Structure 1
Amino acid sequence: MKVGEKLAEQTASEVSASKSASEKRRQSSKKSGRKQKKLGPMPSAVQRLFETCKEVFANGGPGIVPSPGDVDRLRSILDNVDASDVGLTPKMPYFRRGASKGRPPITYLHIYECDKFSICIFCLPPSGVIPLHNHPGMTVFSKLLFGSLHVKSYDWVNRPQDSAEIVDPLHSVQPPGLRLAKVKTDGTFTAPCRTSVLFPQDGGNLHCFTAKTSCAVLDVLGPPYSDPEEGRDCTYYNDFPYASFCGDAEFLTDDVEYAWLEERKKPDEFIVDGANYSGPKIMDQ
């Protein structure tokens, strides 16, 4: 081989080696860049919840239920939120029973609200009660952050088509001012437990909370309550066993219990105090 050919071959080899080294540096730089991005601050649990709510309720409105996939996605986010994520501990003043007689006040912490959804927390001391109320046209996610809470919930029975199946013909006349409902849930939940979900027509759209211990409930409502003119104001109810207005008749069809509900004014003993939310803030961009 001639000297010139050897030099050309050597030069080509050096160029190839140089290109290879340059390529390795670029790949290393890319990896380094990716590593730097991963080391950036992670969004808070509340921020992740907010971003998911924006997506899930983007096309929402009264009576519009998110897709099953979106319900599962938002539920999964809430399942992984705990009290520390929202700056709460059971030792805070909100959760003390106090010395006064009667029902203790409930504390409401506002986190976020728009026309599509709202995020808030209810803080209940022992024996605190949120009385039976409805959620018109709403899909509601409730996450028990800590403590034990008794929940009793109902769904309306759509009469008259359902009445023939469950109401004794001798007692089939609906009492004035009452409406038939079926019990959806009647039990005590203790954290940690899965997020509960109720829908506009089922899942326990009307419910009552009673604190067995101090507890906190993180609620997501889509859409939120609105003025009475828009039909999404909160309505309160008294509940009565079915037999209360139908003689000795008691109906337990397929292990389902029925009751009569009566609209009422907001109970005087139900006192809600607002307080500032002190957990991680939401960045709404």
Structure 2
Amino acid sequence: MMPRDHMTSLIQIIARQALATFRSPAAVGEGSKSFLENHGKLRGLLAEVTAADLNIAPRAAGGAPAAHSPPVTYMHICETEAFSMGVFLLKGGTSIPLHDHPGMHGMLRVIYGTVRISCFDRADKPPDGASEAALGPPPPPAPLPYQRGALRRCVLRSAGEFTVESGPCMLSPHRDNLHQIDAVDGPTAFLDILAPPYDPDDGRDCHYYRLLQAGPELQQQQHQEVWLMEIPQPSEFWCGSEPYPGPQVSV
């Protein structure tokens, strides 16, 4: 446990460290020494946080979510131009569908339950003069001809389960940037940091995708090339909101 002033909550310290890590866009880069040092500090702090630190009690497992009940709930903690932070609560058997984080870094820390996270990267574009087929399998037929432009060649980077015993799950603008999050064996919740926040006016809108090659074998074949198709937000997914019950955060 990292030492801290007992009058200052851990989530406040995390928020201040997130601001120090992401406040200067010019310094945010995987090759920047200062960024890597701050990023490491933030990751270490996230690894310490628990549901009790946020005054959140684990939800009890129940039956299938009611038709009118949101499958996912968000508790907003804080947001600046540099980052946003909040808690997502997933009911048992629900998912946050496959989606992206354009130009963004992300950090996810499970605070109760278990999630399965499948992460994808966009595949490199072929060299000038080379066909896309040179990179791997050709694209499958689009469900409808006009949807061919919505196809995206990607690589399954990782797929695994995360619990309170796991370290934070990380994503960057170029690695693990597309992911799907599934609740496993009951309700789950995680603390989420995105930097910078989503902002459609600044080119950071959330896009949803469908995996065109589905099948259980995909989960055992990391680095497998796959094809995704951009789709509208799935009708079965929406996000409700609840007040955040934990210590106040000021940034």
Give the TM-score of the pair, scaled to structure 1. 0.73
Q: CA deviation at 1:259?
A: 1.0
What do residues 200-242 of structure 1 show as CA deviations (whole Å, max 9, x unaligned)?
011x100011101211110111100002x31101111111129
What do residues 142-193 of structure 1 show as CA deviations (whole Å, max 9, x unaligned)?
101111111111000021139566415xx47996231100001222222221
How many residue pairs get aligned? The number is 233
Q: CA deviation at 1:139?
A: 0.6
Match of residue 157 from structure 1 = 123
Counterpart amino acid of residue 91 in structure 1: R
Q: CA deviation at 1:85?
A: 0.6
Specify whether residues 155 and 42 from structure 1 end up closer, same or farther in structure 2 by C-alpha distance, changes over 3 A only: same
The answer to whether the 8 A contact 1:133-1:237 is kept is yes
Q: CA deviation at 1:83?
A: 0.6
Match of residue 211 from structure 1 = 183
| Unpaired segments ≥5 residues, structure 2 | 143-147
Match of residue 167 from structure 1 = 136
Aligned Cα RMSD in Å? 3.1
The answer to whether the 8 A contact 2:89-2:188 is kept is yes
Query: How many Å separate the matches in 2 of 1:183 and 1:121?
Result: 26
1:47 aligns with 2:12: yes
1:181 aligns with 2:150: no
Specify whether residues 99 and 218 from structure 1 end up closer, same or farther in structure 2 by C-alpha distance, changes over 3 A only: closer
SS at match of 2:156: strand
Query: How many Å separate the matches in 2 of 1:222 and 1:43?
Result: 23
Match of residue 33 from structure 1 = none
The answer to whether the 8 A contact 1:63-1:137 is kept is no
Give the TM-score of the pair, scaled to structure 2. 0.82
Match of residue 232 from structure 1 = 204
Aligned-pair identity in percent equals 30
Query: How many Å separate the matches in 1 of 2:229 and 2:87?
Result: 27
Query: How many Å separate the matches in 1 of 2:62 and 2:79?
Result: 27
Matches within 5 A, 1:22-37: none
Q: CA deviation at 1:42?
A: 2.8
Query: How many Å separate the matches in 1 of 2:68 and 2:156?
Result: 27
Match of residue 145 from structure 2 = none
Specify whether residues 278 and 260 from structure 1 end up closer, same or farther in structure 2 by C-alpha distance, changes over 3 A only: same
The answer to whether the 8 A contact 1:238-1:264 is kept is yes
Q: List structure 1 segments (4+ residues) > 3 angstroms apart after TM superposition.
A: 38-41, 61-66, 95-99, 101-104, 161-166, 171-175
1:122 aligns with 2:99: no
Higher helix share: 1
Query: How many Å separate the matches in 2 of 1:86 and 1:196?
Result: 19
* Greater length-normalized contact order (CA 8 Å, ≥ 6 residues apart): 2
